[in-house]
């Protein structure tokens, strides 16, 4: 790249009036940057503050121990907590299996330039950009009704959430496998190990921390997701914990959605308290991810 540099000495500029204007603009710019950074911090603080203010009166044992009730003082979220655990754990395990298989195939077996590899990669990018409500439509058309006809059950919800978090999980699993140095693989091959032996005994053990943090992020997305489940019956009045894939269910985000829309102030307090429970679960998940990341930081 070439550009014309004027022959005028630049030093003279430093002391004339334009430099004061420049300094003023510099300050204005930095002020703008501070303002937006402050907006982000204030958002987080007011968000947590508003929730605590509204919900602290219901932050007690009856909140997590009770089932829904027409009396706001007795209404609890036990069914939603168990529903969320059911849906998130099952979808997490299924998507982890699919994501690991896909990542291992793409990174360890397939020819990087093959058509199939490209097709799968483009497909993952496409899926990652699909709005979550559209997965709800897919679930409504094929899984809840229509082809599979599972109805509005735990099974339907975890199938849809599996599809939704799959792209995140695949991308992070691939990154984790990519980070394993090829010298490790070559060493194993040189000792006579087959490809699969190399993967199971050498590559996966060193990639597991990366895969684990990635899947925890995926799981936290599933835990907080509400849009597709609106279409899949999670807003229903459910007064028992799920017992299997065929059970009715509700989840924390949907219970929050329902109570937030209630007219009575006391019900809104239940929703706010449920938000605090949800946020605490999410923070706990992220702490686990951070601990895994820090414990296993290995340099090659």
Residues 190-249 that bind other proteins (CB under 8 A): 191-196, 220, 223-227, 230-231, 235
- Under the binding rule (CB under 8 A), the answer on residue 109 touching other proteins is yes
- Under the binding rule (CB under 8 A), the answer on residue 110 touching other proteins is yes
- Under the binding rule (CB under 8 A), the answer on residue 132 touching other proteins is yes
* 253 alpha-carbon distance from chain centroid: 14
- Under the binding rule (CB under 8 A), the answer on residue 256 touching other proteins is yes
| Minimal distance, residue 104 CB to other proteins, in Å | 6
Cβ nearer to other proteins, comparing 146 with 244: 146
Query: Going residue by residue from 41 to 60, which x/- string records binding to other proteins, judged by CB under 8 A?
Result: x-xx-xx--xx--x------
Cβ nearer to other proteins, comparing 90 with 220: 220
Cβ nearer to other proteins, comparing 65 with 191: 191
Residue choice 92, 253, 269, 277 for contact with other proteins (CB under 8 A): 253
Query: Do residues 231 and 140 lie in contact, with contact meaning Cβ atoms separated by under 8 Å?
Result: yes
The piece of 67-75, 78-86, 177-185, 255-263 that touches other proteins (CB under 8 A) is: 255-263
Cβ nearer to other proteins, comparing 125 with 243: 125
Cβ nearer to other proteins, comparing 119 with 291: 119
Residue choice 283, 284, 291, 296 for contact with other proteins (CB under 8 A): 283
- Under the binding rule (CB under 8 A), the answer on residue 33 touching other proteins is yes
Cβ nearer to other proteins, comparing 7 with 244: 7
């Amino acid at each position: 790249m070439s550009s014309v540099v004027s022959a005028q000495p630049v030093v003279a500029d430093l002391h004339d009036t334009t430099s004061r204007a420049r300094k003023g603009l510099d300050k204005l710019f930095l002020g703008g940057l501070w303002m937006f950074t402050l907006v982000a911090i204030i958002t987080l603080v007011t968000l947590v503050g508003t929730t605590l203010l509204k919900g602290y009166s219901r932050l007690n044992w009856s909140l997590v121990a009770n089932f829904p009730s027409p009396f706001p003082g007795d209404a609890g979220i036990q069914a939603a907590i168990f529903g969320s655990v059911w849906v998130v754990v099952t979808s997490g395990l299924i998507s982890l299996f699919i994501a690991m298989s896909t990542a291992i195939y793409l990174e360890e077996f397939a020819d990087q330039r093959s058509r199939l590899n490209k097709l799968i990669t483009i497909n993952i990018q496409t899926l990652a950009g699909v709005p979550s409500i559209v997965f709800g439509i897919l679930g409504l058309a094929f899984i809840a009704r229509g082809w599979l006809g599972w109805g509005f059950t735990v099974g339907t919800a975890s199938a849809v959430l599996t599809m939704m978090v799959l792209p995140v999980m695949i991308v992070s699993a691939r990154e984790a496998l990519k980070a394993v140095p090829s010298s490790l693989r070559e060493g194993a091959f040189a000792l006579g190990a087959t490809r699969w032996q190399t993967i199971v005994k050498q590559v996966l053990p060193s990639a597991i921390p990366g895969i684990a943090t990635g899947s925890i992020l995926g799981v936290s997305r599933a835990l907080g997701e509400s849009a597709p489940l609106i279409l899949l019956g999670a807003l229903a009045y459910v007064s028992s914990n799920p017992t299997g894939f065929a059970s009715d269910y509700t989840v924390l985000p949907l219970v929050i959605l329902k109570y937030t829309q209630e007219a009575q102030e006391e019900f809104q307090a239940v929703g706010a308290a449920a938000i605090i429970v949800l946020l605490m679960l999410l923070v706990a998940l992220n702490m686990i991810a951070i601990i895994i990341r820090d414990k296993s930081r290995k340099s090659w």
